[in-house]
Chain A
Amino acid sequence: MKTINDIFAESLDIPLADVTDDLSYQAIAQWDSTAHMVLIGAIENHYDIMMDTDDIIDMSSVAKAKKIIKKYQQ
């Protein structure tokens, strides 16, 4: 079963070990605005959800992403 960390690693094309809760948007070159939209698409496809734009903008770290995804799974 794919985890959120797996999705981050695949979408940002970084090693899984580099995906930590405190990894934040634009902290690394791979997580730019274009990659952010790819990441959103991958998360939405995996969880079969459609996020609000506010949540997409607000998804500024791995920890934040986990919190937001949980909201859609309730």
Chain B
Amino acid sequence: MKLLENKNIIVTGSCRGIGLATSQLFAQHGANLWLNGRDELALQTLSAKLTSQFKNNNHVCCFDVSVYDQVKNGFQSLFKQCKKLDVLVNNAGILDDALIGMVSQKQIAHTFSTNTYSVLYCSQYAQRLMIRNGGGSIINLASIVGVNGNAGQSVYAASKAAIIGATLSLSKELASANIRVNAIAPGFIDTDMARSIGDELYLQRVDSIAMKRVGKAQDIANTALYLASDLSSYVTGQVIGVDGGMLI
């Protein structure tokens, strides 16, 4: 059964990691996809690949989610193409670990622009397209670190905790418009971003997971599929941990 047929969906940061797995799964389920990222060639390649493999409709939507004017133009372009939007997956994000005493102002600004401001920018425009269509679903990628915190990740954790605050508030603000807003809080997931932390820390993290395995991007994509589909039509304002029982 295809769960996302006739749904117009934009996935930010769709070329790698969780964004890529989510895009693939959504394409498999018949979504009309708008693939977002900053590398137009990579987006075109992905779009062609998904179209060939799953026969769904794919579109390239190249803009930087951390730049307000680019987000505005991106969503206005999407409006001209399709008039309605059903699902927004706010996935794009960066990880830049450092102890608080060694974090530059530039790192803080960059992390918040990419991880947090982008969610507010995209949600602001997306909800307006959803309201016109009678509802929708906004899915924000938070993190277990945004819930529990972690040494050496104060900036990243703060940027992700802010996403949870935005999720809870937006879910209340937009419920009357039939727009559901939920967050997924992944644990330790096997992506380029996770592997960038170094071998020793990587093994420590795996050891802290009750299920004793690193999560897969597919595990997150499966939850995103549930939240994007009508299976979750009465679910809003939730932060769903997908972490294999990880302890921090």
Contact = CB atoms under 8 A, between A and B. Distances in A.
Contacts of B124: 53
Interface of B: 72, 75-76, 79, 124-125, 128-129, 131-132
A44 to B, nearest CB: 7
Given A41-B132, A52-B72, 7 more contacts: A40-B128, A45-B132, A50-B75, A50-B76, A50-B79, A53-B72, A53-B124
Contacts, number: 18
Contact of B129 (A37, A40, A50, A52): A50
B128 A44 contact: yes
A45 B129 CA distance: 10
Interface of B is mostly: helix
A49 to B, nearest CB: 9
A62 to B, nearest CB: 21
A2 B125 CA distance: 26
Contacts of A53: 72, 124-125
Interface centre among B75, B124, B128 (most CB of A within 10 A): B128
B77 to A, nearest CB: 10
